[in-house]
Amino acid sequence: MMPVLPIQSIATTEERLHLGRLIVLTGPSGVGKGTLMRSLLKRHPELYYSVSVTTRSPRPGEIDGKDYYFISRSKFEQLLAEGEFLEWAEFAGNYYGTPREPVLNQIHFGKLVVLEIELEGARQIRASFPSALSIFILPPSFDELEKRIRSRAQDSEEAIARRLLRAQEEIKAANEFDIQIVNDDFETALNDIETVLFK
């Protein structure tokens, strides 16, 4: 019988990436990335969504292993030192990272793998995986972005202020990415993403 080899022993990272494709969805906090992603996954269950690791505390209703893997800072730092992340960043006082192996494995098996991540991580992916397709989601206006963050009602005033400050910098970087989509009318933005991915 053929021995079952771990995927990392039969192909280099770059070879593994030629089979499937890595898609990065980025943009400022509150622009609607997560909401767009959830609708996209409902319409296209064949997509593989990479569940990130974070040191942020769970918000009400968030489920460990589904929304994020919630871990301590010391555990995150250990995983980082062990090279377990494809990309990572510190955002608004917490660490976030994409687990390396599940993503590379899914790409190897021919899947479209979608990451929903902030700017620094998206830049790291662009640098390490030039074949990745990157989509930057923009708000129709900064006022609307603030409204959306507040309407979510899940962040402290301090966290909202940090996210808005960071959003100003993030929006300036929109042109670094392959495609820019304005999330004004939700259905239109969702259709635009589908067009980029499937048509």
Ligand X SMILES: Nc1ncnc2c1ncn2[C@@H]1O[C@H](COP(=O)(O)OP(=O)(O)OP(=O)(O)O)[C@@H](O)[C@H]1O
Ligand Y SMILES: Nc1nc2c(ncn2[C@@H]2O[C@H](COP(=O)(O)O)[C@@H](O)[C@H]2O)c(=O)[nH]1
Binding positions for ATP are: 27-34
**Residue 186 C-beta: closest distance to ligand X, Å:** 4
Question: Dihedrals φ, ψ of 136, to 5°?
Answer: -105, 125
Question: By C-beta, is 11 or 146 nearer to ligand Y?
Answer: 146
Least separation in angstroms between CB 78 and ligand X: 25
Pick between residue 17 and residue 36 the one whose CB is nearest to ligand X: 36
Q: How many chain residues are in contact with ligand X, going by CB under 6 A?
A: 12
Residue type for 142, please? F
Decide which of ligand X, ligand Y, none touches 139; Cβ closer than 5 to 8 Å per partner kind: none
Q: Which two tokens stand for residue 102?
A: 């599940």
Smallest distance from ligand Y to CB 9, Å:
26
Burial of 137 (C-beta count, 10 Å sphere; 0-12/13-18/19+): buried
- Name the binding residues: 27-34
Choose the one of ligand Y, ligand X, none that binds residue 186, judging by a C-beta under 5 to 8 angstroms depending on kind: ligand X
Which residue, 103 or 160, is less far from ligand X as judged by CB? 160
Out of 148, 150, 162, 166, point to the residue binding ligand X (CB under 6 A).
Answer: 148
148 binds, among ligand X, ligand Y, none (CB under 5 to 8 A by kind): ligand X
Strands, sheet with 94-99, edge to edge from the N-terminal-most edge strand: 69-70, 53-54, 94-99, 85-91
Residues 170-189 within binding reach of ligand X (CB under 6 A): 183, 186
Answer for which of 17, 23, 31, 125 binds ligand X (CB under 6 A) is 31
Nearer to ligand Y, 96 or 108 (CB): 96
Instruction: Give residues in contact with ligand X (CB under 6 A).
Output: 29-35, 148, 151-152, 183, 186
